[in-house]
Amino acid sequence: MSAGVGSGVSGAGSGAGCDMPTVVAIHVAPGRRLPTTSVESVAAEAGKGLVGDRYHGSRHRQVTIQSQELLDAAAADLGRPVEPGLTRRNITISHGDVPTAPGTRLRVGDALLEVVRVAAPCRLLDDELGPGAAAALRRRAGTVFRVLESGTITVGDGVRPEPETTDS
C-alpha cells in the first residue's frame, strides 16, 4: 500500500510543525539528451506541460516528480550522492512517496497535476550517475503527470493531494 504524498499531510507530526511536502528543486531541459537546468520557478500549461522543457507539448508525459527522501535512500544504496537534476525529473519534493495510481491528483503550487504512470528509471542513469544507479532508483524514479490546470510552480511551494471530481 502506497499512501502517497497525503501520508505526510495527516501523519502524527514530524516536530517541524508541518508535514506537507514542498518543492525543493525544479529542472527543465530544452531537448532530449541535453543537460537539465535548475530553475526557481516554471509555468505549467494545461494540456502541454512545463514551459521550456523538452516534453512541453507532449500528450501525456508533461511533468515528472520525484521525492528527495527516495533519492537519499538510493544514494545510501549507491554509496554516493544522487543529485536531483541528474535523474532528469522535473520536480523534486522534500519527502514522502509520490503517488503512482493513474488519475490521482496533486496541487503543486498553482498547478493541478494528474498521475499518468510510474516513471521508469532511464537507462542513461548509469552513464550520468555511475554503475548501479538505474537499479538503485528502481521503484524510486518518480511519477509522470499531465497538467490539468495551468499555474506557476516555485521552489518552496506546497504539494498536496487534490480530491478527484466526478464529471456529471
Residue 4 bridge partners (DSSP): none
In a domain, 84, yes or no: yes
- Read off the CATH number of the domain in which 77 is found: 2.40.33.20
Distance, in Å, from the CA atom of 91 to the CA atom of 112, rounded to the nearest integer, reads 14
Most distant CA pair in the chain, distance: 52
Q: What is the pLDDT of residues 98-149, one digit of tens each?
A: 999 999 999 999 999 999 999 987 777 777 777 888 888 888 889 999 999 9
Which of the four pLDDT bands, split at 50, 70 and 90, describes residue 166?
low
In a domain, 14, yes or no: no
Secondary structure letter of residue 115 according to DSSP: E
Distance, in Å, from the CA atom of 157 to the CA atom of 86, rounded to the nearest integer, reads 22
Distance, in Å, from the CA atom of 167 to the CA atom of 159, rounded to the nearest integer, reads 24
Confidence (pLDDT) at 167: 58
Confidence (pLDDT) at 14: 37
Taking the CB of residue 78, how many other CB atoms lie within 10 A of it?
Answer: 17
| Structural domain boundaries, residue 136 | 20-30+37-160
Confidence (pLDDT) at 10: 30
Which three cell numbers mark 94? 522534500
In a domain, 7, yes or no: no
In a domain, 167, yes or no: no
Which three cell numbers mark 99? 503517488
In a domain, 63, yes or no: yes
26 contacts 155 by C-beta, under 8 angstroms: yes
In a domain, 6, yes or no: no
Residue 52, φ and ψ in degrees, nearest 5: 95, -5
Which three cell numbers mark 17? 510543525
Q: How far is CA 7 from the centre of its chain?
A: 16
More confident residue, 87 or 90: 90
In a domain, 47, yes or no: yes
